[in-house]
Structure 1
Amino acid sequence: MHMQPDLLQEARRQAEICNACRYCEGYCSVFPALHAERAFSDGDLTQLANLCHNCRGCYYACQYTAPHEFALNLPRALAEVRQDSWQAHAWPRGFARLFDRAGVAMAGLLALGFAGIFSLSQALRPESGEGFYAYMSHSLMVAIFAPAFLLPLFALAVSLRAYWRTVSGGRVTTGAIMQAIKAAGQMRNLKGGHGEGCNFEDEDRFSNARRHCHQAVLYGFLLCFAATGTATLMHYLFGLEAPYGPLSLPKLLGVPGGLLLSVGSAGLAWLKTRADRNLGAPAYWGGEMGFILLLFLVATSGLALWVATGTAAVSVLLPLHLGAVLSFFLLTPFSKMAHGFYRMAALVRDAERSI
């Protein structure tokens, strides 16, 4: 695992100045962790970078930003180290760099390519079946999506194991895990130092919009995952096969989940167009936007497919949705979807420090 030394050195320079100043001590979890150190190893900087949620409040409050000779831009320095850490720990490594450079094009081409393959596969549709299974057999879907779900999880496990070693993580305790889950669920580090929100869009405007959009994406994703898991249990344990009615658990969980995911991802995309790119990692902007748009396509195509149930439009929407979902799964270890796993690991590591 090799991270870029110039990015680490610049982050180290800025962290040392921030450590001497301490003006932003109450802003988020980064600063208590930063102030607990006197010298910063590469692992320390990697941990701080993954704790940072890029809310940018510290930048707008800082008296040492350009044109001051210190020229501090801690959100950008940590964003670049954070992005580089995902690339360095990703397995296999090369795909992460490719996605960061051309994320929108890569996600779009993959989704359309897989959609084309799924569309052609309808020529092999089963002789009998209801709902989606009238267009594609259940066994074919399982044969495709089971490996596409499990292999990325394995790749993430390898990546996180390497990350945990880099940040000198120890034995994980239940207390640390619960504290990290609480912080993630509340999006505590996007509340700002006084609970008024962050300055992601504009230095003079405190807003909780980004926190709420992140929460919509998080809880929307969890609801959709719960809907899929429930449908799987109903199919294999109770012999209840799809399609399911509007008051069934898969629908009661999946439809609100899809709505939250659609609204949240659309909101995040809109906020990114309003924010100053120079306060993030501008070289990776395309990869971040590609992930958000792919997430939006997964959610909206799923909702459209639900609305179109029983019509001829299913033959077009089903391949598009499956292509988007398959692309999303396969790109998870290399897209910004991985940040959720790294951030949870960073929150657990920070909880260990503070307990």
Structure 2
Amino acid sequence: MSQADPIEEADRVLRICAACMYCDGLCPVFPAIDGKHGFDLADLNYLSNLCHNCQGCWHDCQYAPPHAFAVNLPATLADLRQRSYADYLWPPLLGRAFRASGIVVPAIVVLAMSVTFATVLITASPAQLFSADSSEGAFYRVLPWPAMAGIAGATLLWAVATLTLATVQYWRAIAPRASAGEIMRALPPALRDIVTLRHLGGGGPGCHDEGDRTSHRRRILHHLTAGGFLLSALSTVAAAAYHHLLGIAAPYPIISLPVMLGLVGGVALTAGSAGLLRLEYIADRQPSNRREARLNVAFLLLLGLVAVSGLAVLAFRSTPAMGLLLVGHLGLVFGMFAALPFTKALHAPFRAAALLRAAIDKQQAAARRDADAG
């Protein structure tokens, strides 16, 4: 694949695919290019995020290397995806930071952990870090609740605002001409595709996670990871309800809603991220994009560290190790929130927007066919 001009390369490859259409039915990318003879930047950014990287087209393509056409659609679209994440972050300084995410993300996480540790030393007794304390309110004697909630709230708000703004910018670039009614009718099928991850099925048999072999492992592991993250977030919400509505301070009993949600979520998140890391390790390198692979690994490692550190706090909260483990876990959580805009996390809202566009296009095409038939 040409490295000099990835946009021209993507247009070249997609023109070949649109003329061939042998892979029609594998994923939503091919219906989206059917009948097209050229692709502008908005089209390319849309199609690159509509691709789920199942790599079915790579294994089915008759023009893949060593053919002279050298069509490598998965790697081509993966390259464009990374560029789209950086291009739609605002202000542009954030886009430049995303391009240097290999340095920026670790730096943010280390800074967040340092700030957390420094806050503990300023606001609490250092001896609390090495004391066994499992009584009610023990966590807040390590890091006071106002500091804990303040840092978590600020970093989470930053992440949500930045990701939302980038997604709005992206949607404005790829949005089709559609009425409010058309958008509302397209929402249910788009949400079905987003929630079920059905396009990770590669047209039915699954993704090519290990050479020619197909499986649904990546789809299952994505569900585990996303579900674990959601349950962990619900655990935090439940803990806030216990604290503010019931007047009960952490740590909570094992048989309590916050702990059970956190335990199941932490195990699922650990298993999902570890499984996806293994798939990255055994993946075929030829149809892969190195930068996307590095982004995947970095994000999965960060998720895994957050999950494992949270489980460690739960396992050792009655021992003298609780204080240091809690500070480490909270620092990782704060760091993850602050670093989210520079990680692979952007793929989730961008892909959701692309799937909404695909659902709208599909409904409009069906309406035109009905009108022609009538």
Question: Are residue 254 (structure 1) and residue 254 (structure 2) matched?
Answer: no
Question: Are residue 137 (structure 1) and residue 144 (structure 2) matched?
Answer: yes
Alignment partner, residue 121 of structure 1: 119
Question: Are residue 184 (structure 1) and residue 182 (structure 2) matched?
Answer: no
2: CA distance between counterparts of 1:86 and 1:63? 31
C-alpha contact (below 8 Å) 1:228/1:250 kept by paired residues: yes
Mind listing any 5+ residue stretches in structure 2 that lack a counterpart? 129-134, 364-374
Offset, 1:39? 3.3
Task: Pick which of 254-263 and 225-234 moved more.
Answer: 225-234
1: CA distance between counterparts of 2:35 and 2:274? 38
Offset, 1:97? 4.2
C-alpha contact (below 8 Å) 1:43/1:168 kept by paired residues: no
Question: Are residue 198 (structure 1) and residue 196 (structure 2) matched?
Answer: no
C-alpha contact (below 8 Å) 2:21/2:34 kept by paired residues: yes
Offset, 1:284? 4.2
Q: Deviations over 1:320-343 (max 9, x none)?
A: 111111111111112101111111
C-alpha contact (below 8 Å) 2:116/2:327 kept by paired residues: yes
Alignment partner, residue 294 of structure 1: 302
Q: Deviations over 1:211-247 (max 9, x none)?
A: 1111111111111111112222332334333222222
Q: Deviations over 1:37-58 (max 9, x none)?
A: 4432221111111011111111
Task: Pick which of 282-291 and 44-53 moved more.
Answer: 282-291
2: CA distance between counterparts of 1:175 and 1:132? 47
SS at match of 1:280: coil
Quick one: which amino acid aligns to residue 31 of structure 2? P
Offset, 1:139? 0.7
SS at match of 2:22: coil
Alignment partner, residue 319 of structure 1: 327
Please provide the CA RMSD for this pair.
2.2
Runs of 4+ displaced beyond 6 Å: 126-129
C-alpha contact (below 8 Å) 1:108/1:294 kept by paired residues: no
Alignment partner, residue 7 of structure 1: 6
2: CA distance between counterparts of 1:176 and 1:64? 34
The 5 A counterparts of 1:1-355 are 6-35=5-34, 37-103=36-102, 106-123=104-121, 124-125=123-124, 130-169=137-176, 170=178, 171=180, 173-193=183-203, 195-202=204-211, 204-355=212-363
Q: Deviations over 1:162-215 (max 9, x none)?
A: 10111034547344333222212221111122x22111321x211111111111
Q: Deviations over 1:239-279 (max 9, x none)?
A: 33322222222122221111111111111111111113342
Q: Deviations over 1:117-153 (max 9, x none)?
A: 3233333227996231121111111111111111221
2: CA distance between counterparts of 1:218 and 1:12? 33
2: CA distance between counterparts of 1:229 and 1:211? 27
SS at match of 2:342: coil
2: CA distance between counterparts of 1:284 and 1:31? 22
Alignment partner, residue 131 of structure 2: none
SS at match of 2:239: helix
Over the matched positions of the two proteins, sequence identity in percent amounts to 38
Quick one: which amino acid aligns to residue 199 of structure 1? H
Mind listing any 5+ residue stretches in structure 1 that lack a counterpart? none
Quick one: which amino acid aligns to residue 32 of structure 1? P
1: CA distance between counterparts of 2:141 and 2:213? 52
1: CA distance between counterparts of 2:227 and 2:14? 33
Q: TM-score, normalised by structure 2?
A: 0.87
* Cα distance, 1:30–1:224 mapped onto 2, change above 3 Å: same
Task: Pick which of 161-170 and 132-141 moved more.
Answer: 161-170
C-alpha contact (below 8 Å) 1:24/1:58 kept by paired residues: yes
